[in-house]
Amino acid sequence: MKCPFCGHNESKVIDSRPTDEDSRIRRRRECLQCAKRFTTYEIIENLPVVVVKKDKSREVFDRTKLLNGMLRACEKRPVSVETLEKAVDDIESCIQNSLDREITSLCVGEYAMEKLKEIDEVAYVRFASVYRQFKDISNFRDEINKLLPK
């Protein structure tokens, strides 16, 4: 950390404590050259992830939108909201942990289908039918055949 008094690039941390409900860390530092003290604040940088849709338009990733789509697929199925929230948490973590700040809606949909396949096969086929825009019964049959043991 550059000293605001002399411009030296090295300092030591004397005291560190959380502030603002643990959203920032306040650090007291001492310059190793001029011995003057100064305060810095450390915050988490939240960079939004942008979803690139099929029509090439862009919008900020919205976990609520994803959760609502998965909830619709699980309507009248024995799947708890907590299970779906956990799945959305996992998907969001995967997206946030990637180094890319843009992701295609295709990738988000594939992540959702992977999770739904683990949770409930009927919900998976429902989601896939909307997501992949099934045109007729043969599309349903093909998707169900993928689920059946060989």
Cα–Cα dist 126/139, whole Å: 12
Report how many domains make up the chain.
2
Query: pLDDT tens digits for 110-120?
Result: 999 999 999 99
Residue 87 has pLDDT above 90, yes or no: yes
Q: Identify whether 3 is part of a domain.
A: no
What residues have CB less than 8 Å from 4, skipping those under 6 apart?
Answer: 38
Is the domain of 71 the same as that of 99? yes
Q: Identify whether 80 is part of a domain.
A: yes
Taking a C-beta distance cutoff of 8 angstroms, is the pair 47, 101 a contact? yes
Q: Which residue has the higher pLDDT, 141 or 121?
A: 121
Q: Which residue has the higher pLDDT, 68 or 150?
A: 68
Domain membership of residue 69 as a residue range: 50-147
Is the domain of 79 the same as that of 27? no
Is the domain of 38 the same as that of 57? no
- Average pLDDT of the segment spanning 46-69: 92
- Across all residues in the chain, what is the average pLDDT? 89
Is the domain of 56 the same as that of 38? no
C-alpha distances in Å from residue 105, one per residue of 9, 59, 78, 109, 121: 43, 10, 27, 6, 21
Residue 141 has pLDDT above 80, yes or no: no
